[in-house]
Structure 1
Amino acid sequence: MTPDLDSLDHAILTQLQDDARTIAETIGAKVGLSAAAVQRRIKRLRESGVIAREVAVLDPAALGLPMTFIVMVEMERERLEVLDAFRQQVLDDAHVQQCYYVTGTADFVLVVTCRDMLDFEAFTHRMFFDNENVRHFTTSVAMERVKVGLTLPLQD
């Protein structure tokens, strides 16, 4: 169920999407609320699950992970236990930044970050070659990170 959000909630969320460290006083000044009212709204947004997590966004290149790969994965079988096992494998691997279960020729689309091609090769062995339920995978190497983010377009 989607919680009822008003324009002030959207304004607060817009500020937090830009910088989650923004203090309530600053947000309040921008949206026309007291710091206490902003804090109450943020608490409600967290408790309702609208704010799912607050994390630091790291630069992978600055941390020695300059390569990004987009991988389309086709499973051998579409049985629930096979899909669930692959989902868990993806969740357990820190190299996988994003995973989508999709329609079409592939079953999953992964966004993977690695140090270099050798690192990616090791990833493919443990995720795909060592997994009898993976039928096929296709990889594209990202040439440039044009836009990366999780911000959502908010409207009233």
Structure 2
Amino acid sequence: MATTLDTFDRKLLREVQEDAQIPQNELGSRVSLSTAAVNRRLRRLADEGVIERYAAIVSPEKVGSPLTIITSIEVESEQIDLLDAMKRTFSQCPQVQQCYYVAGEWDFVLVMTVRHMEQYNELTRQLFFANNNVKRFKTLVSMSRVKVGLTVPVDLDE
């Protein structure tokens, strides 16, 4: 069920997605609210699950993991317990940045950040070859990061 958001909520969401560390008084100035109102609204948006969490965006290159890999996976069986086990395994792997259970030719799509191809090769052994429910997988190696983000478009008109 969607949360009812007014124009102020939507403006706040746009701003904090761009910079979650912006001081609340400056945020208030940008959206025409008092600091106290900003604080109350952000707390409510977090309590209602609209804001899931705040995070820092780290440069993979600067921390020694410059290689982005996208992997599509087809499973042998879509039995619920087997899918749940795969979701847990993928979620617990620190190199997996994003995991999607998808419709179509493939069942999962993973976006991973790794140090080098040898590390990815080891991950294929752990995550795919060692899992009897992986039928096949396909690997795409990113040549450059063109756009990376998790910003959700927030329309002001609604």
Q: TM-score range by the shorter chain?
A: over 0.9
| Corresponding residue of 2:96 | 96
| Corresponding residue of 1:48 | 48
1:1-156 to 2 correspondences below 5 Å: 1-155=1-155, 156=157
Q: Aligned partners of 1:153, 1:78: CA distance in 2, in Å?
A: 32
Report SS of the residue matched to 2:99.
strand
Q: Aligned partners of 2:148, 2:89: CA distance in 1, in Å?
A: 24
What's the CA shift string for 1:110-138, capped at 9, x where partnerless?
A: 00110001000001000001111100000
Q: Aligned partners of 2:56, 2:130: CA distance in 1, in Å?
A: 33
* TM-score when normalising by structure 1: 0.98
Letter in 1 for 2:132: E
Q: Aligned partners of 2:60, 2:134: CA distance in 1, in Å?
A: 27
Letter in 2 for 1:92: Q
Q: Aligned partners of 1:28, 1:143: CA distance in 2, in Å?
A: 41
Which runs of no fewer than 5 residues in structure 2 stay unpaired? none
Q: Aligned partners of 2:117, 2:95: CA distance in 1, in Å?
A: 13
Letter in 1 for 2:66: P
Q: Aligned partners of 1:104, 1:3: CA distance in 2, in Å?
A: 30
User: Structure 1: which 4+ aligned runs deviate by more than 6 Å?
Assistant: none
Which runs of no fewer than 5 residues in structure 1 stay unpaired? none
Letter in 1 for 2:109: V
